[in-house]
Chain A
Amino acid sequence: MPETSEIRRQKDSQSNPQGEEIRIGVYTCHCGGNISDVVRCEKVAKVLSEMPNVVVSRTHMAMCSDAGQAMVEEDIRERGVNRVVIGACAPSLHEQTFRRTVARAGLNPYLYYHVCLREQDSWVSGGDCEGATEKAIRLMAAGIAKARHLKALDPIRLDAKQRALVIGGGVAGLRSAWDIARRGIQVTLIEKSPFLGGRMAQLETTFPAGETARELLHDLIERVLAHPNVTVHTRAELVGVRGYVGDFHVQIRRQSRGVSDDFAQAQAEAAIAACPVEVPDEFNYGLTTRKAIYRAYPGCTPATPAIDWENCTLCGKCLQVNGQGIDLENKPETFEINVGAVVVATGFRPYEPRQGEYGYGEFPEVVTLPQLIRLLALAGESEGLEWNGHPVRNIAMIHCVGSRQIEGIHEPQPDGQVNDYCSRVCCTATLHLANELRGRFPNVNVFDVYQDIRTYGRGHEDYYTQASANMVRFLRFHAEEPPEVVPAPDGDSCPVLVKIKDYLTWGEEIEVPVDLVVLAVGIMPRPIDDLIKMLKISPGTDRFLLEVHPKLRPVETAVPGIVLAGTAQGPMNIQESCAAASAAAAKVAVLLGQGLVELEPFVARVDPERCRGSGQCVEVCCYEDAISLQTFSVNGREVQRAVVTPANCTGCGACVSACPNRAIDVQGWTLEQYEAMVDAIAADLPASEVGV
């Protein structure tokens, strides 16, 4: 059909509306042989050079190299190239690279089109050179066809609210809040519990330097609370989110503390003592009890006690001590704030061994590592260690409980999954505790039962060296043959035996008589399903929150403006949590610091001339507030027209296909561009290429 072909050629060879002649530069990359071993790149370039509007057609060994990029820049500057098409690797790898190249030469970066010749052609052609070469020509021709219709685009720029929300009052949340505040950005920090400090407050001495956790934490909390840019809400939860990066509207629900801040501290003790309710104290992992009006621990922040609404019987005994400042009515309030970014620092929970796992729940002598930490803290300065009313002489510490689980060997969690990841902190924490035990109670023998010792951090290996010098005995098991905790026979000197096939002792079965078994439990993500749904962020297969890219974008989520800090993202120690928290703060500062946020312009756009206000686009849209009908006045008549909110649009194109009037296009991927590409792919090849 020469006629149509000729007509199209004439039609295609047009100038753009501004009357500027379209001059396309086409580049076929060898990719160091990845493409050129299969595709005859020189031939592709020659065929393309004869296509309309193509002013230069070149090849290069590696377009992404400095020389390759310089070639493109020179063609733009010297030869008037104003559209660029490069056939190379996948766009995920180098599309951004070449957009920047084009921009450096003064061209709008969206006047560039990236054709994938490696993953979509040379790598999958099975060595068929002729077929791959023809396919390359067709793909590049489609790219050239699209390039003729490319229009300059500008990224979407949004005003960014100068406030960030930090969810979680543990060390990561506090550290993040402090860093953001110091950058001059307002921070609202919300903490679900009545007290700040999170899991770190439950630790005593910390590795690697041995400082006291609460002293470090206290210092940080003081600084955060004193900073004028920070607002802290305890007992507060996120209940709703609207909006987008730079402009989130978040609803926060805050429960009453029940005790006012000006409550006389002197009377707090009396009020607590008066409370008749006793419930297991979660701060001590159930080793002790607390009252329904309580402080998490002595010296906690805020120092004002709080009322535990779930367990308070409203008996009023505390009021009898001093009614002033205590209000036994919980008046939850919900309020909305407007923030530009959100830091998710919801932390972790320790793995709870299932009933009977290594005797947990069956024998009182089996406790977890967090419990041992509390136990040692409660033991204070006492000479000997006691548990369950008996002196402790031998302790076995079992590693990898709830971590590195293997399907088929370990029983899955209630959700059907096994924790196949390493919790990373438990090895050093266990050795740290073992050393502390040996130091404080030299008569206590410590047996360390492990699979592998992973003391990976700076200075962590010293804990192993120290432990072996401290005569901690190491026994090693295979995951397939885990140790067993069994009751000792009657009349034995110790209550339980740990049986282990120790392969350091050439696989002999060994019985360790012990008074206490400590399970080094792993780190589990907190149950934050509601929060995940509200923020539209995603967890990984391990159920921890997922970053965009584990190396290059390690604290950002796939949702712009929402970043991760600390153990919500995966097992971390305090040092790593703080590093992640500071990184998250830096990301927030970069995002909000410019005052506006830039987004890719590939979003839907409505042509108001064509729109008839059918509303079908609004019906099919999956995203909240991305497209809506608004009332306009046209020639004195009130009409409904679709309007896109670019910040909420993902450019999925559902509205484009729904519109009966072809009034909507996704910018950068218009129907006109698609049609041109399809035509080019399906077109007859030029005469010179026929019969290759």
Chain B
Amino acid sequence: MSHRLDPNLLLELKKYGDVNVEACFNCGNCTAVCPLSTEDESFPRRMIRCVQVGMRDELLGSKELWTCYYCGECSETCPRQAEPGEFMAAARRYAIANYDRLGLAKMLYTSPALSLIFLALVAVFLAAFMYTQHGPMNTTSLALFQFIPDELIHNLGVAAMVFIGLVGLMGTVNMVLQIARADGLTKAAIAGNSGIRLNWFEALWDTLGVEVLGQTRYRRECETAEERPPWYLQKWFIHASTMWGFMGLLLATALDWFLALLGIKPTGTWVPIWYPVRLLGTIAGLFLVYGTSVAIIKRLLKTDKTSSHSITSDWVFLGLLWLSGVSGFVLEVAIYLPRASSWGYWVLLFHVSVAMELILLAPFTKFAHAIYRTVALYVHSLKPMATVELARPAGAD
């Protein structure tokens, strides 16, 4: 297949980050040092080359974009200071913007000022909308959900989830189509047919269990620094802490809702701190705040290659996560204070607005990597199970 070049791809990509790959002279050192690079999956040089010459479809169809955890080893080794690691990050942003057909992601990534205004407006809108529905502020005890009705929050949350579900699905379909096109996969090869059985379940476990929750490759292969810092400062742990924290909070919120639906514990009922759902939320919150705080400090101090290039979208994503986590704790403090404080109600409004925005915009921000990386890892893990049968000559029976 012949690839028609688009000479403008490199220029376009430059809008998505500190991309300097025109300096690359294709020596391949980055591929040689990359702990994830194998004979079948060569990166990051392959993707750099795609951008250098202008092979857009090849780039967008590279699942390797997403299996990279940006350990920064390639950038350390590059003899031309082409920053391959940062290039990969920019290419992921570019891919997110391309999988999103609404054009919102593109705006958020490429126009920092506009994106900040937009984010502020969305947050203010959410807050204002909820405020219009507000009830009384109980001054004797902190009755948060009299102020903002829990029904409203839940319904908004469900609406946001449906929205991101649809947008995420659209992006995922785009992505899989791109990968299939680039890899020359047919529908049968993706879905499997009578002759090929694919290990869907094994791939699912490998993706969600081993990779996403276990962070196995990140931990084992991509932690490459010569002198490793203590485990609690290693990159994989900071990442895992943030992710585990977020997922724990999501689970706690969902459980809280289920308990209310089942009538076991109506939303807003005062519970002690050791109440299981509250405890899960508190611990997860600690993980989230720890992870995001260290990540922010590292980016501020530019401690290594991974943290030395930060664009607005990085700050926005970390900032929203951190604010959600910290405001949650402030809220928790307010709940356990002996007397109701009026600021608690405002913190609730703030917390709910920020968290809602975080979820609502997930498919368009850096958060989208949670979707695309998972899909890419799944495709990566998906291998035909019946290789032996396939290899058998046709007339052997």
Contact = CB atoms under 8 A, between A and B. Distances in A.
Same complex for A and B? Answer: yes
A354 B52 CA distance: 32
Interface stretch (B19-27, B138-146, B147-155, B212-220): B19-27
B321 interface: no
Contact of A510 (B2, B8, B46): B2
A473 to B, nearest CB: 6
B259 interface: no
A508 interface: yes
Nearest to A475: B53
B7 A394 contact: yes
B53 A511 contact: no
Given A469-B22, A471-B10, A502-B53, A509 B5 contact: no
Interface string B24-55: 11100000000000000000001001101111
Contact of B3 (A445, A504, A508): A508
A266 B11 CA distance: 52
Interface in B75-113: 80
Contacts of B2: 499, 509-511
Given A468-B23, A502-B53, A473 B7 contact: yes
B4 interface: yes
Interface residues of B, number: 22
B1 interface: yes
Nearest to B51: A473
Nearest to B82: A468
A469 B3 contact: no
Given A473-B7, A499-B2, A510 B53 contact: yes
Contact of B4 (A505, A506, A513): A513
Nearest to B4: A511
A499 B46 CA distance: 20
B131 to A, nearest CB: 50
Contacts of B23: 468-469
A512 interface: yes
A472 B46 CA distance: 18
Contacts of A511: 2-5
- Residue with the greatest number of chain A CB neighbours at <10 A, chosen from B10, B50, B54: B54
A548 B361 CA distance: 78
A57 to B, nearest CB: 63
A9 B55 CA distance: 91
Interface in B324-361: none
A505 B22 contact: no
Contact of B49 (A469, A505, A512): A505
Interface string A488-522: 00000000010100101110111111000000000
Contacts of A499: 2
A504 B5 contact: no
B5 A513 contact: yes
Nearest to A472: B22
A509 B1 contact: yes
Nearest to A465: B23
A469 to B, nearest CB: 6
B53 A445 contact: no
B7 A445 contact: yes
B25 A506 contact: no
A475 B25 CA distance: 10
A504 B49 contact: yes
Contact of B5 (A393, A469, A512): A512
Contacts of B46: 506
Nearest to A497: B4
A180 B11 CA distance: 54
B5 A510 contact: yes
A472 B25 CA distance: 11
A490 to B, nearest CB: 15
A445 B5 CA distance: 12
A468 B10 CA distance: 12
Contacts of A508: 3, 55
A474 B53 CA distance: 8
A510 B3 contact: yes
A305 B53 CA distance: 49
Interface in B246-304: none
A318 B50 CA distance: 61
Interface in A458-497: 468-475, 497
A506 B52 CA distance: 13
A239 B4 CA distance: 57
B55 to A, nearest CB: 7
A470 B52 CA distance: 12
Given A468-B23, A504-B26, A473 B3 contact: no
B229 to A, nearest CB: 35
B87 to A, nearest CB: 14
Contacts of A393: 7
A474 B24 CA distance: 10
Contacts of A447: 5, 7
Contact of A473 (B1, B4, B53, B80): B53
Nearest to A504: B26
Contacts of A472: 22
Contacts of B3: 505, 508-511
B25 A505 contact: no
Nearest to B14: A471
B26 to A, nearest CB: 5
Interface string A305-319: 000000000000000
A532 to B, nearest CB: 43
A376 B397 CA distance: 71
Contacts of A474: 25-26, 52
Interface-central residue, A394, A470, A473, by most chain B CB under 10 Å:
A473
A499 B52 CA distance: 16
B38 to A, nearest CB: 15
Contacts of B52: 473-474
A473 B26 CA distance: 11
A680 to B, nearest CB: 66
A445 B55 CA distance: 15
A518 to B, nearest CB: 16
A104 B49 CA distance: 67
Q: Which residue, A447, A470, A508, has most C-beta atoms of chain B within 10 A?
A: A508
Contacts of B1: 509
Contacts of B55: 505, 508, 510
Interface in A503-553: 504-506, 508-513
B269 to A, nearest CB: 62
Interface in A419-474: 445, 447, 468-474
Nearest to A501: B2
A250 B11 CA distance: 63
A557 B10 CA distance: 53
Contacts of A509: 1-3
Interface string A384-403: 00000000011000000000
A380 B46 CA distance: 40
Nearest to B23: A468
A464 to B, nearest CB: 8
A505 B11 CA distance: 19
A574 to B, nearest CB: 27
B323 to A, nearest CB: 39
B25 to A, nearest CB: 7
A470 B23 CA distance: 9
Contacts of B22: 468-472
A5 to B, nearest CB: 77
B97 to A, nearest CB: 21
A201 to B, nearest CB: 34
Contacts of A468: 22-25, 80
21 contacts: A393-B7, A445-B7, A468-B22, A468-B23, A468-B80, A469-B22, A471-B10, A473-B7, A473-B10, A474-B25, A474-B52, A497-B4, A502-B53, A505-B3, A506-B49, A509-B2, A510-B2, A510-B53, A510-B55, A513-B4, A513-B7
Counting from the closest, the 6 A-B pairs by CB-CB distance are A445-B7, A509-B2, A471-B22, A511-B4, A504-B26, A512-B5
Given A505-B55, A508-B3, A513-B7, 10 more contacts: A393-B7, A447-B5, A468-B23, A469-B22, A472-B22, A473-B53, A474-B25, A505-B3, A505-B50, A509-B1
